[in-house]
A = this chain, B = another copy of it.
Amino acid sequence: MDKGRLEAFSDGVFAVAITILALNLSVAGPGHGPLLHQLAHHWPQFAAYVVSFFTIGIIWVNHHALFMRIALVDRRLLFLNLFLLMVVVLLPFATSTLATYLTTGGRDSHVAAAFYSLVDLAMALAFSAIFRWTLGEGRLVRAVPPELTTRATIRFTIGTLAYVVAFGVSFVSAPAALAITGVVAVYYMFEQAPPLPAAFEDGGALAAGSEATGPE
């Protein structure tokens, strides 16, 4: 129940943050050229919207899979979770900034992409911190075999490294940095941990080991 309310609050924040992404979408209205051109001209807004929507969505999916296995909630977990949420709530602003500068080129577009990548990276690190917290004695409903923990850690690292690469690429090309973030989202969406789907269907505790490997 304790945990239930933590999840409910987190779900609320994820839900509002993911919906607020769409507030960045706008057209200037009559007198600013044909609507079709306005919509076409705003493709960076739409591209950034889709990438960020799935980035937050996947973090939510992984949050869900990880918390499903957590047995107790302590004050440290509450604040690690709060830190994760603080970063998630920054993402709509980072998305809006990136969309605005995506096609301006030059140094500003690099700064916008670097800022966006840093927020993604902070989100991945915050999620990793929660994952590491779960490795403590007695914090999970059921112990996770060491090899699953290792695999989950490897996947975390892949996601985190991809965001580091996106950060570096930002200084070359903002659209390329956004594309890398999109690839990370697609990777985690299609990534299926082979041996575990059955276990997931019968309760989820084991399969969650493969789930907890998100965009971070």
Contacts and interface: CB of A to CB of B under 8 A. Distances in A.
B60 A9 contact: yes
B16 A200 contact: no
Interface residues of A, number: 66
Contact of A30 (B18, B74, B108): B108
A101 B29 CA distance: 8
A17 interface: yes
A23 B50 CA distance: 19
Contact of A15 (B1, B9, B101): B9
Interface in A1-43: 1-2, 5-9, 11-23, 25-27, 29-30, 34-36, 39
Interface of A: 1-2, 5-9, 11-23, 25-27, 29-30, 34-36, 39, 50, 53-54, 57, 60-61, 64, 68, 72, 74-75, 78-79, 82, 85-86, 89-90, 92-93, 96-97, 100-101, 104, 107-108, 111-112, 115, 189, 192, 197, 200-201, 204, 211
